[in-house]
Amino acid sequence: MPVIEVKGVTKDYIDKGHVTTHALRGVDLVIERGEFMAIAGPSGSGKTTLLNLIGALDVATTGSIKVDGIALEGMSQKQLSDLRRDRIGFVFQSYNLVPVLTAAENAEYVLELKGVSQAKRRARIAELFDRMGMKQLIDTRPLKMSGGQQQRVAVARAIASEPALVLADEPTANLDQQTGRALVALMRELNRERGVTFVFSTHDPMVLEQADRVVRLVDGAIAADERKAA
């Protein structure tokens, strides 16, 4: 079963009863488990909109979306919130860490929401930080971290609960080239070793170079679906 199925999805933005923007126009997309792929396109092409719809952060105007076999249409806000918590990890370009929490506390936040005991949360995060070469950050708060370190914590938070899918919206946008390359290498390693499915929205050539599959959007429609040869 694919981790994502998008069929005939459109997204219109309406103001005062009139459509102001056709953000997506009849998108069909299937994402298999374990993919490391990117959604690319110029500003305004619809890539972030598509990522938000897949992540159940927004609702399609028409069409259907399934995440891990679950249809999103008709779900309540509580059901959508539970699905995001249980099945999707998010990495945002602005990091979205809680400033008063340490790196470990930020990373274990989703586990806490899921009711995992403190002892089990701490053990899992300690193992994960050790695996990701981040042991020195465990007790550090975001304001004491570099952008690259904060984004690594965001990645740890995204995968801590072992979701079916990680969505990363322009994850390298605020990083220098060297730090961005290291971050993508880390995510690639997690993809290969743990089978985590990663989907990026990006226009960063380095990220596109590393992706196994690149779906290109133009004016809200898929213009190309490119896969690297095995």
16 class by beta-carbon count within 10 Å (0-12 exposed, 13-18 middle, 19+ buried):
exposed
Predicted confidence (pLDDT) at residue 16 exceeds the cutoff of 80: no
Average pLDDT estimate for 119-147:
92
Q: How distant, in Å, are the alpha carbons of 34, 123, 150, 197 from that of 167?
A: 13, 25, 17, 9
The contacts of residue 193 (CB under 8 Å, 6+ apart) are: none
Instruction: Give the pLDDT band of residue 156 (cuts 50, 70, 90).
Output: very high
Provide, rounded to the nearest whole percent, the portion of the chain with pLDDT above 70. 100
Average pLDDT estimate for 56-77:
94
Predicted confidence (pLDDT) at residue 19 exceeds the cutoff of 80: no
Average pLDDT estimate for 111-129:
93
> What does the mean pLDDT of the chain come to?
92
Question: Poorest-confidence range of 16-20, 148-152, 180-184?
Answer: 16-20
Determine the pLDDT at residue 131. Answer: 83
Q: How many domains does the chain have?
A: 1
Determine the pLDDT at residue 25. Answer: 95
Q: How distant, in Å, are the alpha carbons of 10, 24, 216, 217 from that of 222?
A: 12, 9, 6, 5
* CATH code of residue 176: 3.40.50.300
Provide, rounded to the nearest whole percent, the portion of the chain with pLDDT above 90. 70
What is the per-residue pLDDT across 175-226, written as a single tens digit (0 to 9) for each? 888 888 888 998 898 899 888 899 999 989 999 999 999 999 999 999 999 9
Average pLDDT estimate for 90-100:
90
Average pLDDT estimate for 56-75:
95
Average pLDDT estimate for 61-86:
94
Instruction: Give the pLDDT band of residue 230 (cuts 50, 70, 90).
Output: low
Residue that wins the pLDDT comparison between 170 and 38 = 38
Listing DSSP states for 166-199 in one string gives EEEESTTTTS-HHHHHHHHHHHHHHHHHH---EE
Predicted confidence (pLDDT) at residue 20 exceeds the cutoff of 80: no
- Residues 86 and 114: beta-carbon distance below 8 Å: yes
Q: Which domain holds residue 188?
A: 4-227
pTM tops 0.85: yes
